[in-house]
Chains A and B, each alone.
Chain A
Amino acid sequence: MKDARNLKRERLAPATYVLLAAVLLVTMILCVCAGSVRISPGDTVTAVWNTLWGKPVPENIAKNIILNVRLPRVLCVALSGASLSLCGAAMQGLLRNPLADGSTIGVSSGASLGALIAMATGFTLPGSAYGGVMVLAMLFAFGSLVLILSLAYALDRSLATNSIILIGVIYTMFISSIISLIITFSSEHVRSLNFWTLGSFSGVNYDQVKLLCLALIICGGILLHLGDELNAFAIGEDNARHVGVNVKRVKLIVLITISVLIGVCVSISGTVSFVGLVMPHIARMLVGPNHKRLLPASLFSGAIFLLLADLTARTLMSPVELSIGVVTSLVGAVAFVIIFYRTGKAG
């Protein structure tokens, strides 16, 4: 029975991708057309269409709002959602842990600490004001990941589900108290950085879109390429070793890739939780547990979910904007409970 279902899923896979891609496209169009300020679809389409083909764009308010505010934001949100969800799926496979995600095992909070330290100390890279924040966010993300994993190893060599999450939760609390300390003892300048803990895509621009795009192409490419290895890991690390996977190397590559991707995301939008945790589960329900299909499906579903969450944050209380973290946590937590309840019942 179960095999039959899996077989059916496998056959459905290409159709599912087409469907997911179509849904993503429709969602993106919806998100560009809808917003806090009502702009006619005609003006919107003209603005985007003319820009795409290099034609002059009529000088009206639609141009500024659609092209300079809404479009970069929609693109950033889609790319972040895809990145976070992909990281979650890869981490869950690598650690054989359905609860693993940047926000649950402490990587995101590590990255925010790095970003905050860069801000507080004014650490910048020559030639780029923003680079310092991003590099420290990535380094701290990787450092946190290594620290948490080594602690979990010391506690329990099999990296059991519970111990790693427990350490992650404790680590997140520890980091958030350090963040509060830094905020308390630093100037008002840094106090405004509180938003990092809630997440916001307000004010993103095309530079950040390009950066996210580049990060997702490189890191996402690497992760998608490692589908077979992750499948082997999902069964067990020993199994991976037996089937000829270079366990250490693959693990290191995956961890670095995840850290870079999460570091870039956090430095742009702050901590957006639950995307990486919930969306891979939904993707798994759609295409099954094979990472070769699961990873791309997570990518699409993460983008769609975050786009809708951001749309809600932008429009629900207009002209006031909600924090996207509030929306993802509310929806994500409920979805998570439902998923676990249903999978628990099915199993």
Chain B
Amino acid sequence: MSKKHLLILLAALTLGSSLTVLADEGITVTDMYGREITLAEPATRVVALQPSDCEILCAIGCEDALVGIGEYCDYPESILGTRVVQSGEETNIEEILALEPQVVLMNDMAQSEEQVKQLEDNGIKVAVSHASDIEGVYEAIRMVGQLMGREENAEALITDMQTTFEEIKEKTEAEEEEEEEEKTVYFEVSPLQWGLWAAGKGTFMDELAGICGLTNIFEDVDDWAAVSEEQVIARDPDYIVTITMYYGDGPTPVEEIMEREGWQDMKAVKNGQIFNASDSNALSRPGPRLKDAAVELYNFIYGEGSGETAAEAETEEAAPAA
């Protein structure tokens, strides 16, 4: 390129930026897959296929921009009237195109590259968010904030989450100094009846346990896994957290655990330290509600609720779910 051309180009650029605001304010965002997404202006029509992205959008005040949600998106309740589209393997491109979004938020699990390409060929930007830890959730919030032109709200949300986690950490560290040995926790994601599944390393539950000063008894297992009942009994956790939903008949999940044969001598069962999380999604979704889950877990372990019996905790937790 000759000097002359360069000068003209520079002049044009200067002129352009002073004349058109848009060109300069165009948004370039790198999504969590490392792809660059450019938008002329903040998105106003968004389809979010993942429940966590819906929650993030709503938490930063962009609920109105949601024109379509994936089938598993169910929080907050106010989004339930939004048009539901198929997600995951069944992602239906036509359905999404008809909603004319500028941006589609999805995770990287089930959509094929062809599907992403089809959307992009039709002028729809695809942003991938996939958080596997709390740091990743911050990144996702930041990305969504940029796409929507709500960076400040996003930063405020992140700070809020960070402060909560920090506070809990400080409090638990103070408590820990009083106690001698480290307390352990077992997260049950599927009850005995259907084969035990536990949350291991690399899950949000494991990370939240760390924040609350607990050690996950299945640290040596990755992700969610079918575990041996013998191991749960032998590892004898101080606390049990179950995310089994209660459907209103038969024993509650907590009662069911207390009644299991061979579990009666475990510390958590003897001391009634079994907790049925009010909302399993808060504990497992990479969204802003991880903060609430951390508070809930902290309250169960150290808070006012720690002295009460499991049955009392149960009624307390059942109320919002009902």
Contact = CB atoms under 8 A, between A and B. Distances in A.
A122 B190 CA distance: 19
Interface stretch (B27-35, B36-44, B50-58, B230-238): B230-238
Residue among B192, B234, B236 with the highest chain A CB neighbour number at 10 A: B234
B227 A319 contact: yes
A188 B245 contact: yes
Nearest to A68: B262
B313 to A, nearest CB: 22
A269 to B, nearest CB: 10
Contact of A202 (B220, B229, B250, B262): B229
A267 interface: no
Contact of B245 (A61, A64, A189): A189
Nearest to B218: A319
Nearest to B234: A37
Nearest to A129: B250
A127 to B, nearest CB: 14
A323 B233 contact: no
Contacts of A206: 261
Nearest to B280: A188
Nearest to A36: B228
Contacts, number: 83
Contacts of B231: 36-37, 318-319
Interface string B255-272: 000000111110000000
Nearest to B220: A319
A200 B195 CA distance: 7
Nearest to A122: B249
Interface residues of B, number: 28
A321 B263 contact: no
A126 to B, nearest CB: 14
A121 interface: no
B225 interface: yes
Interface string A46-70: 0000000000000101001101111
Interface string B50-88: 000000000000000000000000000000000000000
Nearest to A72: B261
A174 interface: no
A163 to B, nearest CB: 35
A34 to B, nearest CB: 11
Residue among B221, B229, B249, B263 with the highest chain A CB neighbour number at 10 A: B229
A65 B262 contact: yes
A128 to B, nearest CB: 12
A319 B194 contact: no
Interface in A1-34: none
Interface string B188-219: 00101111100000000000000000000010
A195 to B, nearest CB: 5
Nearest to A205: B261
B221 A35 contact: no
A343 interface: no
B250 A319 contact: no
Contacts of B261: 68-69, 72, 205-206
Contacts of B233: 37, 61, 64-65, 69
A131 to B, nearest CB: 14
A94 B263 CA distance: 45
A61 B234 contact: yes
Contacts of A69: 229-230, 233, 261-262
B226 interface: yes
Contacts of A200: 194-195, 226
A267 to B, nearest CB: 12
A65 B234 contact: yes
Residue among B230, B231, B233, B263 with the highest chain A CB neighbour number at 10 A: B230
Contacts of B247: 189
B237 to A, nearest CB: 13
A314 B230 CA distance: 10
A66 to B, nearest CB: 9
A320 B221 contact: yes
A202 B195 contact: yes
A41 interface: no
A320 B262 contact: no
Given A65-B262, A200-B195, A70 B190 contact: no
Nearest to B190: A192
Given A64-B263, A202-B192, A203-B192, A320 B226 contact: yes
B247 to A, nearest CB: 6
B115 to A, nearest CB: 20
A193 interface: yes
Contacts of A321: 195-196, 226-228
A70 B229 CA distance: 9
A205 B262 CA distance: 10
Top 9 A-B pairs, shortest CB-CB distance: A68-B262, A36-B228, A203-B192, A64-B262, A319-B231, A37-B234, A202-B195, A68-B261, A37-B230
Interface of B: 190, 192-196, 218, 220-221, 225-231, 233-234, 236, 245, 247, 249-250, 261-265
Given A195-B194, A321-B196, A321-B227, 20 more contacts: A37-B234, A59-B265, A64-B233, A64-B264, A69-B230, A69-B233, A69-B261, A122-B249, A189-B245, A192-B194, A202-B195, A202-B196, A202-B226, A203-B192, A203-B196, A203-B229, A314-B230, A319-B221, A320-B226, A322-B226
29 contacts: A37-B228, A37-B234, A65-B230, A65-B233, A68-B262, A69-B230, A69-B233, A189-B245, A192-B194, A193-B194, A195-B195, A200-B194, A200-B195, A200-B226, A202-B192, A202-B195, A202-B196, A202-B226, A202-B228, A202-B229, A203-B193, A314-B228, A318-B228, A319-B228, A319-B231, A320-B221, A321-B227, A321-B228, A322-B226
